[in-house]
């Protein structure tokens, strides 16, 4: 297996389970633990691995969250387009994810807040006043079924296929 393929295989394994040990990755890929550690170190230093993540269903420990998707229409800035505005918005701690999108709006924000009032304050006090923001459209997430490839369905490993109704 070529080095590029080795790295890709290691990254696929890590993406599914970031807690897996280099020793176990080595067993799965027929590489030595030392080779795996070398590939991981290089991937971290080059910025290929950006971090390791644990997905938590906070409601199971009594913490309520509100998720909202906020579409933002902005005026692109001369010389930087959407980049400067996106970098500014991305720095807010409430912003879980931020995407440049096609369609009627330019940016899509996945926002996580403690309650609906915090979402409203974020939009009215932090986003709307930014120079170049033309408008927003907010959608509240009613229920999360799958996020970042992780099923968020309670008590099930996989949902049953629903019957087709006439």
Nearby residues of 8 by Cβ (< 8 Å), 6 or more positions away: none
Residue 59's pLDDT is 81
Q: What angle do CA 113, 88, 48 make, to 5 degrees?
A: 90
Domain range annotation of the chain = 3-46, 64-143
Residue 150's pLDDT is 81
Give the closest residue to 148 by CA, choosing from 67, 90, 59, 89: 67
- What is this structure's pTM? 0.75
> Could you tell me the fold of the domain covering 64-143?
Alpha-Beta Plaits (3.30.70)
Residue 47's pLDDT is 94
Asked if 81 and 90 touch (Cβ cutoff 8 Å), the reply is: no
Residue 133's pLDDT is 97
* SS3 assignment for the chain: CCHHHHHHHHHHHHHHCCCCCHHHHHHHHCCCHHHHHHHHHHHHHHCCCCCCCCCCCHHHHCCCCEEEEEEEEECCECCCECHHHHHHHHCCCCEEEEEECCCCCCEEEEEEECCHHHHHHHHHHHHCCCCCEEEEEEEECCCCCEECCEECCCCCCCCCCCCCCC
- Location of structure tokens 């923001």: 133
Low-confidence ranges of the chain (pLDDT < 70): 154-166
Query: Which numeric CATH code is attached to 3-46?
Result: 1.10.10
Q: Do the two domains 3-46 and 64-143 of this chain adopt the same fold?
A: no
What are the pLDDT digits (tens) for 79-102? Answer: 999 999 999 999 999 999 999 999
Residue 37's pLDDT is 95
């Amino acid at each position: 297996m070529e080095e590029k393929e080795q790295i890709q295989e290691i990254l696929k394994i890590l993406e599914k389970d970031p807690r897996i040990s280099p020793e176990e990755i080595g067993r799965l890929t027929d590489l030595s633990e030392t080779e795996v550690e070398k590939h991981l170190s290089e991937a971290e230093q080059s910025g290929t691995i950006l971090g390791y993540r644990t997905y938590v269903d906070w409601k199971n420990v009594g913490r309520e969250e509100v998720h909202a998707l906020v579409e933002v229409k902005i005026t692109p800035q001369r010389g930087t387009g959407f980049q400067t505005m996106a970098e500014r918005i991305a720095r807010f701690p409430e912003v879980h994810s931020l995407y440049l999108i096609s369609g009627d709006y330019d940016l899509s924000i996945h926002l996580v807040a403690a309650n609906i009032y915090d979402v409203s304050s974020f939009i009215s006090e932090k986003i709307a006043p930014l120079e170049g923001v033309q408008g927003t459209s907010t959608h509240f997430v009613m229920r999360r079924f799958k996020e970042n490839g992780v099923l968020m369905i309670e008590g099930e490993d996989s949902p049953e296929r629903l019957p087709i109704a006439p």
